[in-house]
Structure 1
Amino acid sequence: MSKRKSSSKKTLFWVVGVLGFIVLLGLTLRVTGVIGNSDTGKEVETATAKLKTITQLVSASGKVQPEIEVVIRPDVSGEIIELAVKEGDFVRQGDLLVRIKPDIYQAQIDNLNAALLTQKARLEQTRAALIRAEAAYQRDNTLYEKDLISEMEYIQSKSEFDSQKASLKAAEYQIQSAQAQLRQAQEELEQTVIRAPQNGTVTGLTVEEGERVLGNAQMAGTEMMRVSLLDRMEVLVEVNENDIVNVDYADTSRIEVDAYPERKFNGVVTEIANSAQITGSGTNEQVTNYQVKVRIITPHNIDSSPEQMVRNEASEGPEESFVPNFRPGMSATIDIETQTAVNVVSVPIQAVTVRDFAKDQTSENGETEDSAEIMLANSQDDDLIIREEDMRKVVFVIEDGKAIRKEVETGISDNSHIQILSGLEAGEEVVIGSYRTLSNLLNDGDKVTVNNKVSTFN
């Protein structure tokens, strides 16, 4: 019995020993590279260069606003005694908006009327005095010619006549002045009644009946309301100085309004500012933008006036009858189509990277990267030699399982693809990822393994 146990233990030891030897041998061979060292290359994702129409976009965000908006301010000060509209009302040109208490202006007119009558009475008195002075002058002139009166009496009579003529002129001018003051007062009285300057919708009503307002005398008066054409809306955006050079008048735009998600509206550039809007001036955060106005040309706000309350009853579906109702201040994003290249060779944007060709030239000459970048000469001056970079745009093309670097010239781009002007043909397979591999690790001639399981580029 004891011999059988001893034999089993020996067998178990031999088996364990053999297995351990085999494992150890396998690890040794793997570490030394004898086995398990088949080079499958770097794993990459690829896409095919293809012919595509590319439209370059300039994107910006801003606010929706009426294209025509009139700010209503009173020309005279006073208390509002009648407010004939409320916010959202549609008004026609000439409709009553506000009445300001006219009492003080009516009293001023009465006062000026009385002053004018007084001036007219004084004019008649002056005219009568002039007639008397003229008769006396004619009489004394005859007597002076006959030497019946002295020269002093003649001069005095003539001076009185000239004085009365001047007084008559002054009285006439005073009447003209009084009439002008009366016209001004009457105009101010008329300005106590404020009417709509154009057809439109009342927006931004900021006053109430009984409130006192300040007129446009020596400063801007109280803003009471705005009258806007809501069926002619635009988007005011700020475009960065790097992009504004690509924007031109009448450029087509696509507009997205936050209030209408997943919908796009058509627009056209109507104004481009010449003066910049600068924020953070003099700091590292300085930003220079230019204001651009984009008119919304998609039909909208058709119910902003009684004449335009129309719906397409014969439409087949809700999409055909949908008309957006934009309001001032809504947030919007625009994509301005600045350039379009039709049927050109294009690749996904991330396929294009940069490489330093000077570094490759240095490697061909047998220098190491470190010694090529900075070298100290063995001279007494110890001059520092810096290698100049030669950065160029390239793509990596898959050929026979290898990544072949090709220098390319690029054109315009959209949100996903970039135009290739030269260096690549449609149909070639290019590397598009991963970003780390493409930007840093991948070199000309490297073996690669294509893995497009998660690629979404077509």
Structure 2
Amino acid sequence: MRRLVLSGIGLAVLVAVLTAANLGREGGGYRLDWDLLQTPPREVELASPARAEIIETISAAGTVEPVEEAEIAPQVVGRVVEVFVEDGDRVAKGDLLVQLDPTAARASLDSVEARIERLRALIVDAEEDVEKAARDLSRTEQLARRNVATPTELLDARSTMAKVQAALDVARNDLLESEAMRRMSQQELDYTEIRAPIDGVVADCEVEVGEVAIAGTTNLPGAKLMTILDPDRMQVRADVDETDVPLVRPGQPARIYLQADLLTAIPGEVERVAPRGRLEAEVVTFETIIRDQGGPDSPLRPGMTATVEIEVRRAPDALSVPIQAVVQRRRKDLPDSPELLAWLDRHPPAPGEAIGELGARYVTTAFVAVDGKARARPVDVGLSDERRVEILAGLGPDDRVIVGPFRTLEELKDGDPITEADPETASETGTPP
């Protein structure tokens, strides 16, 4: 009951206000003008679609690394007797970095070389024995043909020839094996001198004199001695999302932004894209390499965090509007205009979409000013960048498009009364161009 009384009082007050307003009008009529309750026109900013270059980009996070990098690890086990470099030293390919104790390797090489000398002398003696046995066999065969030598003497001569020839063959095989062992021993001795495989700068030098260097790829101390990297050629290893990677191609221009300076763009270029994705935390990404094109003064350093923007598509002369002018509206909130019907023809429902859900479909929309009212225009859009979006259909260069303020665009409906804001006032609101 109390609620009904309050509602009646409110209605009486409203009628009284409207009556007083009408009494003050010229002519002093008592007719109520319900137009006084209408929403006042919204102040909006207007602009016509214009031609502009639009560059579409995709972004990805990554890490800076050198193009060429080599981990220095020993090829043989040995105690470190001297380290010739430290972190930050620049080295050339072939420079001596670390010396391992060569005593055991040199002794092994000396032993093999001594054996080779003995085998060579043995081969000389065996070759002489073979020559002598060959002469004896030839003479015995001649005597046997004249029945001077007995069959036993001929058999003994042939047996002697076979034995000395076998001894020569064994000596020669032993020499070949020993020469192979010498090459291995020489290589092991060479491995005690650890040299730079590339030109670059020393980093992560973890070796000290007296340590035992361990051959292999394990994580044991001594398995990795240092790293040599090329500081003049850098790249960014970025993870591109699976939704963006179909647009990425080698050779596309890119911009690199460092976490330490997000305002300065460093030129780059896509080098390669991984053929297989990688799943981490339920997100599939593709490893992409962006080569630094900033030249010798580039600020990129290994290990830095970077963000890359890759230019994937470009429209050099696109009819476009400010990006905030394009909004989304549900189908049920738009009038059945010819423009909407044409848009729906161009964008049929997805397979399996229920008829009852069609009213809830979102329609890409721009609002234009027509006779002091906002009119919704369904539009087709193309490329977009941070400021503008390409219009493929739905707007023409003579239309007056509502481009702001942003909050007004969020709430604007078809048919709302509007008035153009003063350009100076609009610029003070900070609406993006």
Q: Report the TM-score when normalising by structure 1.
A: 0.74
- Tell me what 2:23 maps to: none
- Tell me what 1:295 maps to: 291
Q: C-alpha distance in 1, partners of 2:401/2:320? A: 11
- Tell me what 2:37 maps to: 38
Q: Name the aligned partner's letter for residue 321 of structure 2.
A: V
Aligned runs of 1:222-261 on 2, under 5 Å?
A: 222-261=223-262
Preserved CA contact (<8 Å) 2:365 2:376: yes
Preserved CA contact (<8 Å) 2:44 2:408: no
Identity over aligned residues, as a percent? 30
Measured at CA, do residues 359 and 113 of structure 1 come closer, stay the same or move farther in structure 2, by a change above 3 Å? same
Shift in Å, 1:195 = 2.2
- Superposition CA RMSD, Å: 3.4
Q: C-alpha distance in 2, partners of 1:455/1:176? A: 86
- Tell me what 2:96 maps to: 96
- Tell me what 1:279 maps to: 280
Aligned runs of 1:149-160 on 2, under 5 Å?
A: 149-160=149-160
Preserved CA contact (<8 Å) 1:40 1:448: no
Shift in Å, 1:141 = 1.3
- Tell me what 2:381 maps to: 410
Shift in Å, 1:156 = 3.7
Measured at CA, do residues 102 and 23 of structure 1 come closer, stay the same or move farther in structure 2, by a change above 3 Å? closer
Q: 1:26 aligns with which of 3, 8, 13?
A: 13
Q: C-alpha distance in 2, partners of 1:46/1:265? A: 36
Q: Name the aligned partner's letter for residue 431 of structure 2.
A: T
Preserved CA contact (<8 Å) 1:358 1:388: no
- Tell me what 1:204 maps to: 204
Aligned residues: 389
Q: C-alpha distance in 2, partners of 1:31/1:153? A: 151
- Tell me what 1:61 maps to: 61
- Tell me what 1:454 maps to: 429
- Tell me what 1:367 maps to: none
Q: C-alpha distance in 2, partners of 1:325/1:396? A: 46
Preserved CA contact (<8 Å) 2:374 2:413: yes
Preserved CA contact (<8 Å) 1:30 1:37: no
Shift in Å, 1:47 = 4.8
Task: Give yes or no for the alignment of 1:444 onto 2:420.
Answer: no
Q: C-alpha distance in 1, partners of 2:368/2:335? A: 21
Consecutive unaligned residues of structure 1, counting only runs of 5 or more, are 1-21, 281-285, 301-322, 365-384
Shift in Å, 1:81 = 1.1
- Tell me what 2:365 maps to: 394
Consecutive unaligned residues of structure 2, counting only runs of 5 or more, are 1-8, 20-31, 339-353
Q: Which is further off, 181-190 or 209-218? A: 209-218
Measured at CA, do residues 119 and 47 of structure 1 come closer, stay the same or move farther in structure 2, by a change above 3 Å? farther
Measured at CA, do residues 47 and 236 of structure 1 come closer, stay the same or move farther in structure 2, by a change above 3 Å? farther
Measured at CA, do residues 449 and 134 of structure 1 come closer, stay the same or move farther in structure 2, by a change above 3 Å? same
Preserved CA contact (<8 Å) 1:44 1:432: no
1:155 aligns to what SS in structure 2?
helix
1:264 aligns to what SS in structure 2?
strand
Q: Name the aligned partner's letter for residue 311 of structure 2.
A: E
Preserved CA contact (<8 Å) 2:405 2:431: no
2:432 aligns to what SS in structure 1?
coil
Q: Report the TM-score when normalising by structure 2.
A: 0.78
Measured at CA, do residues 152 and 31 of structure 1 come closer, stay the same or move farther in structure 2, by a change above 3 Å? farther
Q: C-alpha distance in 2, partners of 1:70/1:276? A: 26
